[in-house]
């Protein structure tokens, strides 16, 4: 039987649309979207309501999604409560909310071949083609791609190869460098007429995550018929190409992808490093 915990905030935790929007700065878009969804069906944040919310969503959502829902609501409560003793109770309470551990194994269904990616590019207009090409050529996350600014890109020479070294901010606000073929870089800024962002709209703003998801999925459906392709599919495909087909080291690939540990990437034997020649061939 589930224990009861009194996690209700004083006067009930009600959030206005403005307050929820402000949380996006602290929590990020994914967690904020969970909070919005929670308040559509609940008028206060209580342990019982959280259990009910997660239980209802388990019927239609994946284990990975439920894990995100749980983490977002826990973070919201801890963000609002300052009492350390109460925070300890929250940790205990949420540890008793059992969520099946997501299967993060990258199967062949989660990647696409280079031929498929070439077909996706062929079926897209020039701008969308360059976005798809860059996602696959770098293994970038969508959030990283859309936030790259021109000032983040620096011409670099290594092993007699000239390329663009691009600074990106990944998960955990960690900065890393990715390599971009210089011909691709100039094609991007000329096609998008980039002024501030590497990829920017006609209004000189960054593209939204939703837009990038839409163009990748649309191209995937055109190329494959029924199967959906997401931006992260291209990231998985990039990593698989380096790890499996090119036999590059787990440690090097993990670092390049911005993973916090090699365990997240896979359990491969560490034996070498990536060279610039490996990274700009795509």
Active site residues: 141, 171, 232, 235, 259, 269
Q: How far apart are CA 208 and CA 107, in angstroms?
A: 28
Maximum distance among all Cα pairs of the chain, rounded to whole angstroms = 66
Contact between 165 and 179 (Cβ < 8 Å): yes
Q: How far apart are CA 163 and CA 143, in angstroms?
A: 22
Measured in degrees and rounded to the nearest 5, phi and psi for residue 156 equal -135, 150
Report the length, in residues, of the chain: 282
Burial of 15 from C-beta contacts in 10 A (0-12 / 13-18 / 19+): middle
The set of residues, in sequence order, having a beta carbon less than 8 Å from that of 35 and lying 6+ positions away, is: 15, 20, 23, 27, 72, 73, 76
Residue 101 CA from chain centroid, whole number: 19
Q: How far apart are CA 44 and CA 86, in angstroms?
A: 18
Cβ atoms < 10 Å from Cβ of 26: 11
Burial of 221 from C-beta contacts in 10 A (0-12 / 13-18 / 19+): middle
Q: How far apart are CA 223 and CA 220, in angstroms?
A: 5
Side by side, which strands form the sheet with 175-181?
A: 153-158, 161-169, 175-181
Contact between 265 and 254 (Cβ < 8 Å): yes
């Amino acid at each position: 039987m589930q224990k009861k915990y009194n996690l209700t905030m004083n006067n009930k935790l009600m959030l206005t649309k403005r307050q929820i929007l402000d949380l996006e700065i602290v929590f990020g878009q994914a967690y904020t979207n969970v909070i919005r969804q929670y308040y559509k069906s609940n008028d206060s944040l209580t342990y019982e309501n959280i259990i009910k919310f997660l239980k209802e969503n388990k019927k239609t959502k994946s284990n990975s999604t439920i894990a995100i829902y749980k983490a977002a609501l826990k973070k919201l409560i801890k963000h609002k409560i300052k009492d350390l003793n109460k925070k300890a109770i929250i940790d205990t309470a949420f540890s008793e909310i059992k969520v099946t551990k997501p299967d993060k194994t990258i199967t062949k269904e989660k990647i696409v071949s280079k031929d498929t990616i070439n077909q996706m590019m062929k079926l897209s207009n020039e701008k969308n083609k360059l976005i798809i090409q860059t996602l696959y050529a770098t293994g970038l996350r969508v959030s990283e791609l859309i936030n790259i600014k021109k000032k983040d890109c620096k011409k670099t020479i290594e092993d007699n190869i000239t390329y663009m070294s691009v600074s990106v901010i990944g998960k955990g606000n960690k900065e890393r460098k990715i390599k971009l073929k210089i011909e691709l870089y100039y094609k991007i800024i000329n096609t998008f007429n980039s002024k501030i962002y590497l990829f920017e709209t006609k209004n000189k703003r960054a593209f939204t995550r939703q837009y990038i998801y839409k163009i990748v999925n649309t191209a995937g459906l055109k190329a494959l018929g029924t199967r959906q392709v997401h931006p992260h599919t291209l990231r998985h495909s990039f990593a698989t190409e380096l790890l499996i087909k090119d036999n590059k080291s787990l440690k090097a690939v993990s670092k390049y992808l911005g993973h916090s540990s090699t365990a997240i990437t896979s359990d491969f034997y560490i034996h070498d490093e990536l060279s610039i020649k490996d990274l700009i061939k795509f």
